[in-house]
Structure 1
Amino acid sequence: MNLKQLEYFVTLAETEHYRKAAESLYITEPSLNRAVRDLEKEMGVPLFEKRGRNIFLTQYGKMFYPYVTKSLEELRRGLQIMKAYTRPDRGLINLGFVYTMGYTAVPNMITQFHNTEGNEAIEFDFIQGTTRELIKKLKEETVDLVFCSAVADEPDILFYPVIEERLVLVVPKGHPLANRASVSLKEIEPYPFIAFHKSSGMHSMVEDLLQRADSHPDVVCHIEEDNAMAGFVAAGYGIAVMPDFYLLRHYEVERVPIADKADRRYLFMAVHKRHNMLPVVERFRNFVLAGGPHTAV
């Protein structure tokens, strides 16, 4: 059994026609027929059966097919990875980021990267999600790098600070706190409060701020994503403490500075400690780290 026999088997299984399969493989029909017969002889079972002019997989062929296709796909992926190690200036980077970084932060970063000499041919695939979702994908190796909040219980993940965001109190237009120069977190207790869901990277940070201020507002709901939170605040459902991200200025809300001393809120670049990093991914990582943390606008 050899690689060509397996490729011939898959092509014939998918076309169900000797002539079409042979043309697709750029070989003659007798050569294809001989290769398939040799494969069947080696395995000791028939893989195909004829019905009129067409050919179909037998029950053994149907059992064998998914194993062969998976093996060939893994082999192709391995070859692509090996080729990628020789070209740090070419290749594909799978990049994940939290939703709020999709408005200006990531687009500006990618544009600057592509405008740097030697990076023009590097391609990106993007995926968005919550911090927990993206960290899961990073550990599963479906993404190469992630921009997200830091998570305390992930010992295999390195978090590099890349963007600083200030936290603000967000209230609806016309709210009693809307026109204040600043507000202490103790003062928000009388008002319905919208909190971040535990799956959000912001949950523990806001909880810590409220505890330090001895503030215990009435939580009316938990929300996972910043835009949804801003929408509920704009609708008058409650107030919230959240990052002052770009699109907040386009909602019917007011952003009020917080008087309490607050920790700096960073967005991080997350990298898995134990996964092999392709040169093209390493090139982008180094580009991001060279810029240092900067303030979101």
Structure 2
Amino acid sequence: MNLKQLQYFVKLAETEHYRKAAEALYITEPSLNRAIRDMEKELGIQLFEKQGRNIYLNKYGRLFLAYVQRSLQELNRGIDLMKAYTRPDQGKIILGFIYTMGYTLVPEMITQFQGIDGNERITFDFHQGTTTSLIKELKEEKIDAALCSSVENEPDVLFYPVAEEELIVAVPKGHRLSNRGSVSLKELEPYPIIAFDKSSGLYQMIHKFLVQADAHLKVACHVEEDNAMAGFVAAGYGVAIMPDFYTLPYYNLDRIPISDPVEKRYLYLALLRQSQLLPVVERFRNFLLARWQRGML
């Protein structure tokens, strides 16, 4: 049984007349008759009954018609959805981002993007998580794009820089390092450190800086994301090397510049390398890249 047979069946059920149904379908009566006979043969039951020179839908046909109509309606909805996705000015982007980007950065990006003429009908669904979890969702095609840290040894993923953050040392208010203008990583050795979990994109980056500084720190605990780290620092559980993200000044801690030569923490737009980009995702990517380039000027 194929799609055309189902469409022929629905039209014949509506008209209960072979000639009228054939004309509406732009096919010949013999072609329509043959399609219906083949469908009835496959089902093993008649769907139409003859009444003189006319036909009518019998009780089995009425029962089957309800299922066919629902199926065709769902199929048409799917087709309409796919057509909508091929338009660059409307559709939905499923966007993942790391936790700290949700306070200011992502809302600002989305507001700016949707404020551009032609983007008003592009909508978003959001997922939050760690870089590791977001890359996993991206590769499983559960999200269209991710805003996160860059990850090494991910040949299937492209990373485009879209934002940056300074790395600082965070200490509890009143800590003996609080009044320092800057601090070296080596000077942190006497203090317990709250470190990022290996699932965080920052783990390897900070570990590299510590090796370069020959700093051997005692880890008090590992956390997955920046807000938890800031909370533990503010509670006096230890100090931390972390990004100076938007809401960090609102925690009960002090932020100290690092005197060692450390790179900034870059945030990236991650996309699957081999995946065909939906037009709306391509438009969003181009917006973020243009925004990044303007910021670099």
Scaled by the length of structure 1, the TM-score of the pair is 0.75
2:217 maps to 217
Give the 3 Å change call, closer, same or farther, for CA 6–179 of structure 1 in structure 2: farther
Maintained 8 Å contact 2:84/2:90: no
C-alpha RMSD of matched pairs (Å): 3.3
Maintained 8 Å contact 1:163/1:294: no
1:207 maps to 207
Count of residues paired in the alignment: 253
Give the 3 Å change call, closer, same or farther, for CA 255–229 of structure 1 in structure 2: same
2:88 maps to 88
Maintained 8 Å contact 1:164/1:293: no
Q: Is the partner of 1:88 in helix, strand or coil?
A: coil
Give the 3 Å change call, closer, same or farther, for CA 293–237 of structure 1 in structure 2: farther
Structure 2 counterpart of 1:112, which letter?
Q
Task: Say if 2:260 is the partner of 1:256.
Answer: no
1:111 maps to 111
Q: CA deviation at 1:40?
A: 8.9
| CA distance in structure 1 between the partners assigned to 2:101 and 2:128 by the alignment | 9
| CA distance in structure 2 between the partners assigned to 1:84 and 1:263 by the alignment | 39
| CA distance in structure 2 between the partners assigned to 1:141 and 1:286 by the alignment | 20
2:49 maps to none
Give the 3 Å change call, closer, same or farther, for CA 270–78 of structure 1 in structure 2: farther
Spell out the pairing of 1:1-297 with structure 2 (5 A cutoff).
Answer: 1-3=1-3, 42=42, 77=78, 79-85=80-86, 87-292=87-292
Scaled by the length of structure 2, the TM-score of the pair is 0.75
Give the 3 Å change call, closer, same or farther, for CA 226–2 of structure 1 in structure 2: same
Provide structure 2 residue ranges, at least 5 long, that are not aligned to the other structure.
8-12, 17-37, 46-66
What do the CA deviations read for 1:85-106 (whole angstroms, capped 9, x no partner)? Answer: 1x21111111111111111111
Provide structure 1 residue ranges, at least 5 long, that are not aligned to the other structure.
8-26, 31-37, 46-64
Between the aligned residues of both structures, percent identity stands at 59
Q: Is the partner of 2:195 in helix, strand or coil?
A: strand
Give the 3 Å change call, closer, same or farther, for CA 79–177 of structure 1 in structure 2: same
Q: CA deviation at 1:291?
A: 1.1
Maintained 8 Å contact 1:186/1:215: yes
